[in-house]
Structure 1
C-alpha cells in the first residue's frame, strides 16, 4: 500500500494542504502514518463526508442505472424514427396540417351544397327525392373526411407506383 503526503492528497481532492490538515483534525480523514495518507481510504472518507454534509443536494448516482436510462431513451428514439419512416407513426405537425386541410375542404363542400342543389331542388316536390339528393351530396362530403390514407398522401403515392 502506497502512502502519500498532504500535498499529494490536497491535489487529489482538489483542496488546499491546510484543508487536508483541517479534515484530519476534524477526524474526517485519517493518517496511516504520521504525515502520510492512504489515498483510497482518504478519498472514500472524504466522499462520505461530503454526502453526509449535504444529503439533499448530493444525490447518489448509480452509473449503471443512468447508463440503462440513456440506452433505453436512445432505443425509444430509434423506434420512433423507424415508425415515422414506415409511416406507422405521424408527427403532430403533419396530423395538424392534414386535419386543417380536411376540415377546410369539408367546409367548402358543405357550403357549396346549397348553391349546387338549389336550382335542382326548386323544381322538386317529392320529399323522398329531395332527401335523396341532399343525402348524396352530404355523404360525398363526409366520404372525404373518412379517407385517411388519401388525406396523408399515401393513396397518391400508391397510385404513382402502380402507374410506373
Structure 2
C-alpha cells in the first residue's frame, strides 16, 4: 500500500486553539477570549483561530491599532508625550541657564522700564527750567531740549531691568569712553 501524503497547510493558515494562541502571544486563554469578545480577534470555529491572521491582529492591537485607520495609535500618543516632556525639560534648562525668562519676569521688566522712562522724562523740566529761562532764541531752546531728550533716551537704552536696573555691559562701556 502506498502512503498518501498529508496535505501540508502553510503555517500562517493553520488553525490553532485558544490555549495555543495564548501561549504564542504570552497571554492567558482568558485574555484571548476577552479580545475575541471585544471583536479584536476573530474565531473561525468555536475556540479556533487562524494563526497568521490572529498574530497580525494581535500585533496591531498591542501597538495601538492599525497605522492606516486614521486614528491615533497608542504608540503615537506615547511618542508625542515623550516629545512634550523633552521640550519642557529643555525649557526648564534654558530658564535655569538664564536664556529664558518667564512671562512674569518680562512683564515686570517692561513695567520697570516704563517707570524709569517716566522718571527720566519727568525730571526734564526741573533740569531744563533754569537754563531755558535765560534763552530767547528758539533754535537754542530746541537744541538744548533735543540734547536733553537724547541724553535721557541714551541713558534709558542702557537700562537693564533684568539686572536690577543696572546698565548693561555694552552701554556702560560706551558711556565710559
Question: What band does the TM-score fall into relative to the shorter chain?
Answer: 0.5 to 0.7
| Runs of at least 5 residues in structure 1 that lack an aligned partner in the other structure | 160-164
Give me the TM-score of the superposition, normalised by structure 1. 0.57
Please name the residue that 2:100 is paired with.
Answer: 89
> Which residue of 58, 61, 67 maps to 2:73?
61
Kept in 1, the 8 Å contact 2:42–2:49? The answer is no
Give me the TM-score of the superposition, normalised by structure 2. 0.54
| CA–CA distance in structure 2, aligned partners of residues 115 and 152 of structure 1 | 29
Please name the residue that 1:153 is paired with.
Answer: 163
Q: 1:110 to 1:14 in 2, by over 3 A?
A: farther
- Higher share in helix: 1
| CA–CA distance in structure 2, aligned partners of residues 140 and 69 of structure 1 | 52
Deviation at 1:78, TM superposition (A): 1.9
| CA–CA distance in structure 2, aligned partners of residues 14 and 30 of structure 1 | 7
| CA–CA distance in structure 2, aligned partners of residues 94 and 39 of structure 1 | 64
Kept in 2, the 8 Å contact 1:3–1:39? The answer is no
**Once superposed, what is the RMSD of the aligned Cα atoms?**
4.0
Please name the residue that 1:77 is paired with.
Answer: 88
For residues 104-126 of structure 1, the C-alpha deviation after alignment (integer angstroms, 9 at most, x for no partner) is 22122212211331122111235
What is the aligned length?
134
